[in-house]
């Protein structure tokens, strides 16, 4: 094995959104940068390779499928198209550093040997990298629950595995009804799979608005998705023709047969094998890297960006992490995670569910006196867009402070919700009141103009402790 030693001003471990953004900007400033990525299939990070881009592309292909289109052929073609798209993104990420002589990309496994030293195992070589500043941007990895037979079963897949499988499973069992599980349930049902979702708690999407969740459940049920809440999977048994999923519901053991089992129990920070102890970098009980509001770890010259430090796992937050770190490295050092207000989120079901701020339940628990504006999309006359695209399912709901008219939160389950929620979030960040958002002028025919009508319809005023009564 050959050995080599390299010194850099900045070492970035992981080719994700936050890390690559800092690497590129520092490289353009003339700093010597080394960027290490474990796999050449992950240039660009989770989002363009196994996350946002391929899954949302599958949403698109699933929505385009007509009832008479052959399911298996349509799905196989969709996967091929999506993989070609991700390969294009991956190549683009790699090529984006081609013109930066100051940035060196190394493909290999990185492990700390000391606070300023990392060894990288590549094909046949060991490279020692020393750096003044180090960024850890290794992301997160799927969690496969410790259920007897689950991890050993060849039928068990992570989301990354499933989206690369060209054979459409006739029967798909999904373990977990969070964002990942529900999104995949919607996608694969539309492709033609029989889908069963298992959730140990009594409701899906536990942190989202109750009314919206009920609407999501109705939509999924109408599409043919079976959701089993209060169901605990206890075992997976393999057979030649598939797998048997054993579960308990209402105190009774039951079984279903599946061709594929998606482990959708979430993702954990990818810190295994990094040798963080050698660097003196502390982690939480859940394995996330501890950081302060400026994303510094227990070692001031080492930062952690993106999913690896815990918290909401969104690419756009990883991008914002890069802004915070750049401000520390080249700016005034004032920017921090405390600056984040009204961060939106979207679940790409069909139609998508998007939310920002407080739900009605959360506002009530906080003791806020609120006005609730809520309307079904099918009843919103000022939203012809929904009729144009032939999807009037869902609802729009706003939670407004009864005294100040401040928008406390919104949940949108509708066509174009993933875009509209950004308008609401921007309004919340800049103190735009519910009345101002209601009376704004929007183009026509669009989905956003529904705000004119929905925010004029106050369905109830809730005193603290009585919301939803």
User: Which residues are catalytically annotated?
Assistant: 444
CA distances from 404 to 23, 163, 280, 431, 457 (A): 44, 46, 48, 11, 17
Residue 150 backbone class (left: φ over 0; alpha: ψ -120 to 50; beta: rest): alpha
Residues with Cβ < 8 Å from 99, sequence gap 6 or more?
none
Q: Strand, helix or coil at 217?
A: helix
What is the helix (H) or strand (E) element at residue 214, kind and residue range? helix 210-223
Distance CA 444, CA 442 (A): 7
Whether 349 contacts 181, CB under 8 Å? no
Across 55-87, b (16+ Cβ under 10 Å) vs e yields bbbbbebbeebeeeeeeeebbeebbeebbeebe
Q: Tell whether the torsion through CA atoms of 176, 177, 183 and 189 is positive or negative.
A: positive
Q: Considering just the CA atoms, what is the radius of gyration of the chain in Å?
A: 24
Residue 332: burial class (beta carbons within 10 Å; 0-12, 13-18, 19+): exposed
Residues in the chain: 469
Q: Encoding tokens for residue 306?
A: 């993106």
Beta-strand pair 370-376/458-462: antiparallel
CA distances from 270 to 110, 140, 274, 294, 341 (A): 12, 5, 9, 20, 27
Q: For residue 439, count other CB atoms closer than 10 A to its CB.
A: 12
Nearest CA-CA partner of 168 in 145, 185, 192? 192
Q: For residue 440, count other CB atoms closer than 10 A to its CB.
A: 15
Distance CA 411, CA 308 (A): 28
Across 227-258, b (16+ Cβ under 10 Å) vs e yields bbeebebeebeeeeebbbbbbeeeeeeeebbb
Long-range contacts of 431-436 (CB under 8 A, 24+ apart): 431/406, 432/407, 433/404, 433/405, 433/406, 433/407, 434/371, 434/373, 434/398, 434/400, 434/405, 434/406, 434/407, 435/405
């Amino acid at each position: 094995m050959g050995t080599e030693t390299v010194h850099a001003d900045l070492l970035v471990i992981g080719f994700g959104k936050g890390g690559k953004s800092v690497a590129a900007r520092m490289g353009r400033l003339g700093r010597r940068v080394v960027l290490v990525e474990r796999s050449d299939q992950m240039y660009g990070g989770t989002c363009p390779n196994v996350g946002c881009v391929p899954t949302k592309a599958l949403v698109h292909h699933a929505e385009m499928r007509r009832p008479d289109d052959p399911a298996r052929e349509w799905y196989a073609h969709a996967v091929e198209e999506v993989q070609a798209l991700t390969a294009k993104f991956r190549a683009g990420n790699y090529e984006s550093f081609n013109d930066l002589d100051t940035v060196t990309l190394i493909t290999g496994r990185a492990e700390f040997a000391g606070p300023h030293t990392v060894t990288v195992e590549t094909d046949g070589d060991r490279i020692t990298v020393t750096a003044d500043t180090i960024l850890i941007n290794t992301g997160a990895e799927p969690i496969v629950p410790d259920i007897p037979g689950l991890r050993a079963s060849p039928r068990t897949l992570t989301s990354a595995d499933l989206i690369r499988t060209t054979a459409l499973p006739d029967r798909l069992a999904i373990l977990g009804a969070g964002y990942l599980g529900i999104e995949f349930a919607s996608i694969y049902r539309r492709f033609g799979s029989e889908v069963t979702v298992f959730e140990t708690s009594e409701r899906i999407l536990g942190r989202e608005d109750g009314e919206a969740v009920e609407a999501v459940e109705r939509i999924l049920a109408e599409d043919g998705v079976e959701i089993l809440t209060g169901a605990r999977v206890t075992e997976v048994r393999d057979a030649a023709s598939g797998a048997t999923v054993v579960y308990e519901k209402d105190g009774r053991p039951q079984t279903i047969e599946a061709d594929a089992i998606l482990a959708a129990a979430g993702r954990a920070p990818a810190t295994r094998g990094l040798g963080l102890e050698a660097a003196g970098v502390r982690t939480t009980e859940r394995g996330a890297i501890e950081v302060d509001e400026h994303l510094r770890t227990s070692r001031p010259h080492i930062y952690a960006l993106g999913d690896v430090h815990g918290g909401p796992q969104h690419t756009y937050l990883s991008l914002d992490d890069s802004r915070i770190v750049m401000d520390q490295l080249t700016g005034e050092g004032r920017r921090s995670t405390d600056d984040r207000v009204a961060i939106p989120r979207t679940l790409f079901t069909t139609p998508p569910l998007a939310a920002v701020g407080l739900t009605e339940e959360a506002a009530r628990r906080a003791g806020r006196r609120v006005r609730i504006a809520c309307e079904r999309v099918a009843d919103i006359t000022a939203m012809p867009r929904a009729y144009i695209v032939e999807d009037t399912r869902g609802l729009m709901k706003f939670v407004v402070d009864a005294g100040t008219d401040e928008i406390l939160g919104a949940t949108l389950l509708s066509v174009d919700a993933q875009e509209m929620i950004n308008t609401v979030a921007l309004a919340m960040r800049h103190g735009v009141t519910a009345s101002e958002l209601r009376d704004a002028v929007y183009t026509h025919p669009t989905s956003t103009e529904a705000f004119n009508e929905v925010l004029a319809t106050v369905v109830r005023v809730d005193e603290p402790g009585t919301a939803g009564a």
